[in-house]
Structure 1
C-alpha cells in the first residue's frame, strides 16, 4: 500500500540591477561576544510574526482563492537581504522580520547558523524529508566584502550574468530543481535574468512527510465541500478514525487539530513536525486570521488534548505563484525595491532589487478512493464525551506545517474552493 504523503515546495528569488554607490566594509562577523542563548527561538518567534503578516496580506490580495506559500522560504530569502542591508533598508527588514530583539546582525547570524545545522541534521531522517537551502548568486564582476566571503562561503555562487545570462538562469533553475526533488524545474523563465542582473537571492525548500496515523485509501469517497452556504462541490474526502490532539479554542473561535508525521520506518516515532488544521465555523475564517498571532497559536496548541477523532480531510493539490513585491510592501518592506536600496554590506556597490517571486506547490493525497462516511455541516460545539469527535473539513479551513523544535511555521495555506485547484 502506498503511504499517504504531503509534498511542499517553495522558493523566493530577488533580482538586482546595476550598482549605484559605494560605502565602507560590512560589520557582519564583528562583536561576536554576548550572543543571547535564545537566538534561535527569538529568530523563529520573529518568523511566526512575519508569517501572520504575510498570510493576512496575501488573504487581503486574494480573498476568494486558495492560498499556499512558505513563510520559512520567504523569511530566509529576506534574511539574506537583511545581512547585506544598511540604513533604511535594514531598518525596514528588521521591523518586518521582527528582529528587534537582536543587538546587532551577529545575534541574528548566530540564530541563522544554529537553524542551518538543525536543518542539515533533520535532512538525514527518513522517511520524513525536509530540505532547505540558501544561495547568493553574484555576478562574477561584483567585488564582495571580505566578511561576506568568509561568513557565507557555503551560500555564495559566482555566475557570469553579464556575458551569459541564459546559462546563469539554467544553473539557478537546476539548483532549485535539485533541492525540490525536481518538483520546481523552471522557476525562472527566459528573460527573468539578463545582462543587467547583478545578484539573485534564493531559498528553496522541500518537505515530504508520512502520516503517523495514516489514511486508508478504501475509506476515501466523494463528499460535499461547502465553499459557501449557497455554493458547494464534490471532493475526494479522506477519512480516518484515530487519536489526535484536538483543542476547542475559545479565543480563535475554532477547532485546532494536530496531525503528526513519523520519522522512522517502523512507524513508532512521531516527528516534531505536524500539520495543524484550524477549522472555524462558516463565515469566520477572516475572524480567525484577525486573531491569529504567535501567542494565540501557542495557546491553542497547548490546549490540545489527545482524544478519539473522526477526521475528514479533502485530498487536494494546487500550485501558487506570487508576485511578492506588492505583498512585501504591504508588510512594510519598501526601500528594498527603490533605487536607494542599501545592500552595501554585501559589496562596495549598493544595489536595488528589481523583482521578487514565490512559487509553492502542495499535494495532499493517498492511493485509492472508495469508502463511506457521513457528510455533515460543521457546528461549533464540542462533542459528547462518549462519542468520537468529528473533525470534518467540509468548508474553508487554515492549515500550517509546524516545526515544534523551532516553533517555526514552514508552510501555510487556506483551502477555500476545490474548483480553483490548479
Structure 2
C-alpha cells in the first residue's frame, strides 16, 4: 500500500486597506448608476462574477505575458464590495459597473454577498471570513458597520495604525490564523501609517480532495507543449473515468469538470484544441457566459491527462481597476464618505493581490491575497468510446462553486520540467 497523502487544501486570502489622504474634503457629485436591478439571485450574482473574472483575467494576462496567472475573483470582488458600501456618488457608480454588482443599493449589494457567505458559515470544507480593522478613535458609521457585521459577517477591531509595526503584526496574526499559518507577514509595516483609517480583509480556506483521485502510479513524465515549437517534460497525471465533459466547437475548445469530494465545488478546465489557441479562447470566453459551458457538460467516459502544476502570482491591481472603469476610487476626490463617523477624505492608493495554487493527484491547494491601500452549441459525444482530454498545452481553469460561481480563475501557459532536465524546454523539429 502506498503511503497516505495528506488531504490537499485550497485556501485564499484577500486584503483591502483604506488610507486617509490629505486632500481637502470635497462635496460628492451625485451620479446615477446605470446598473439595473434584476432579481437578486445567486444565479445572477454568479453570472456577473464570471464576467468580472474574465475581464480581470484578460487584463492580467496582457499585463503579465508568458506568466501563469491565478487569482481569486470572489476574494477581490468581496473586498471591493465592502469598500463600496462606504462609497457614494460617481465612486460608488463606477464600482457598481466595474465590479458587476447586482444593484446600486448598498443593502441589496450586501445581501447578495450574504447569500454566498451564509451558505458556508457552518461548512467544514470551505471557510470564509471577513474582518475590519479601524483606526482607534475613528468609529465606523452605524449603517456601514451594520451592513458589514450582519451581511458580510465581519467584526470590527480597533488598532493604532500610527504604530505601524504593531498594527501590521495584529493584522498578520489574523491572516495567519485564517490560513493555517500558510501566509505570514503579508502586510508590511510600511503600508500603514498615522493616516491609515481602515483595513478590510477577506479570507477563504478550502480543504478537500478530488472525488476521483488520480492514481499516483499512473503519473509519468510527458511533454507539455508551450507552443508549436517548444515543449518541456512534466509529471502528467492520468485517469480514465466518467466526468462531465463538453466539446465546444464554437470556442475551438473542450471543457472538463473535475469535482471535489463531499462538496459542491469543482475545477473546470477549458482546453483549446490548438496548442497556440489560448489567446483566441480567452477572447471568445469574454463574450460567452460561463453557464453556456457548464450547461453543455455531459457525463462521459474521458481519458484525462492533466499536468501536476504549481503557480504563484502577485499583481498590483490599481491599473486593472482603472482599465475596468474604476478610477475615481484612487482619486483625491474619491467619495468614501459613508465609512467613518468623522468627515475623513479617503481614497484607495493600491490594491495588491497574491495567489498560489498547487494541483496534484490528491486534489488542489490554492491561496490568494489581495491588499488595497487607501491614501455555445452542444455537440453529441459518442458513448461507445471514451473521449480524450489531454491538457498537454496552455489552458484555462476555474475553481467553481455550484458550477458557475468562480472562486479562483487562472491559466497555465508554461510549466517547469520536473525531470532530471528540470525546467529545460525542448525545441521540436
Class of the TM-score when normalised by the shorter of the 2 chains = 0.7 to 0.9
Q: Which residue of 1 aligns with 2:346?
A: 351
Whole-angstrom CA distance in 2 between matches of 1:193 and 1:179:
21
Q: Which residue of 1 aligns with 2:163?
A: 164
Pair 1:286-2:283 in alignment: no
Whole-angstrom CA distance in 2 between matches of 1:222 and 1:151:
52
- Aligned with 1:262: secondary structure? coil
Q: Is the Cα–Cα contact under 8 Å of residues 234 and 416 in structure 2 kept in the other structure?
A: no
Q: Which of 17, 21, 38 is matched with 1:14 structurally?
A: 17
Whole-angstrom CA distance in 1 between matches of 2:104 and 2:313:
36
Q: Aligned pair count? A: 385
Q: Please give the root-mean-square deviation of Cα atoms over the aligned residues, in Å.
A: 2.5
Q: Which residue of 2 aligns with 1:207?
A: 206
- Aligned with 1:229: secondary structure? coil
Q: Which of 400, 408, 411 is matched with 1:411 structurally?
A: 408
Q: Which residue of 2 aligns with 1:397?
A: 395
Whole-angstrom CA distance in 1 between matches of 2:80 and 2:117:
15
Whole-angstrom CA distance in 2 between matches of 1:356 and 1:398:
24
Pair 1:132-2:132 in alignment: no
The alignment's TM-score, normalised by the length of structure 2, stands at 0.83
Deviation at 1:41?
3.2
Q: Which of 64, 85, 89 is matched with 1:62 structurally?
A: 64
Q: How does 1:1-400 map to 2 (within 5 A)?
A: 1-2=4-5, 5=8, 7-18=10-21, 20-21=24-25, 38-99=40-101, 101-102=102-103, 104-121=105-122, 123-124=123-124, 129-153=125-149, 154-263=153-262, 271-280=263-272, 281-293=274-286, 295-347=288-340, 348-366=343-361, 386-400=384-398
Q: Deviations over 1:168-187 (max 9, x none)?
A: 10111111122222221221
Q: Which runs of 5 or more residues in structure 2 are unaligned?
A: 29-36, 363-378, 424-429
Q: Which residue of 1 aligns with 2:32?
A: none
Q: Is the Cα–Cα contact under 8 Å of residues 255 and 278 in structure 1 kept in the other structure?
A: yes
Whole-angstrom CA distance in 1 between matches of 2:218 and 2:193:
51
Q: Which residue of 2 aligns with 1:374?
A: none
- Aligned with 1:247: secondary structure? strand
Q: Is the Cα–Cα contact under 8 Å of residues 244 and 297 in structure 2 kept in the other structure?
A: yes
Deviation at 1:23?
7.2
Q: Is the Cα–Cα contact under 8 Å of residues 5 and 366 in structure 1 kept in the other structure?
A: no
Q: Is the Cα–Cα contact under 8 Å of residues 247 and 303 in structure 1 kept in the other structure?
A: yes
- Aligned with 2:208: secondary structure? strand
In the superposition, relative to structure 1, how do residues 22 and 384 fare at CA in structure 2: closer, same or farther (>3 Å)?
closer
- Aligned with 1:198: secondary structure? strand
Q: Deviations over 1:202-233 (max 9, x none)?
A: 21222232111111111111111111111111
Whole-angstrom CA distance in 2 between matches of 1:209 and 1:295:
29
- Aligned with 1:282: secondary structure? coil
Q: Is the Cα–Cα contact under 8 Å of residues 18 and 346 in structure 2 kept in the other structure?
A: no
Q: Is the Cα–Cα contact under 8 Å of residues 226 and 275 in structure 2 kept in the other structure?
A: no
Q: Which moved more, 1:409-418 or 1:396-405?
A: 396-405
Whole-angstrom CA distance in 2 between matches of 1:197 and 1:103:
27
Q: Is the Cα–Cα contact under 8 Å of residues 6 and 362 in structure 1 kept in the other structure?
A: no
Q: Is the Cα–Cα contact under 8 Å of residues 8 and 363 in structure 1 kept in the other structure?
A: no
Deviation at 1:295?
4.7
In the superposition, relative to structure 1, how do residues 181 and 339 fare at CA in structure 2: closer, same or farther (>3 Å)?
same
The alignment's TM-score, normalised by the length of structure 1, stands at 0.85
Deviation at 1:334?
0.5
Whole-angstrom CA distance in 2 between matches of 1:150 and 1:37:
23
Whole-angstrom CA distance in 1 between matches of 2:147 and 2:380:
53
Q: Is the Cα–Cα contact under 8 Å of residues 10 and 206 in structure 2 kept in the other structure?
A: yes
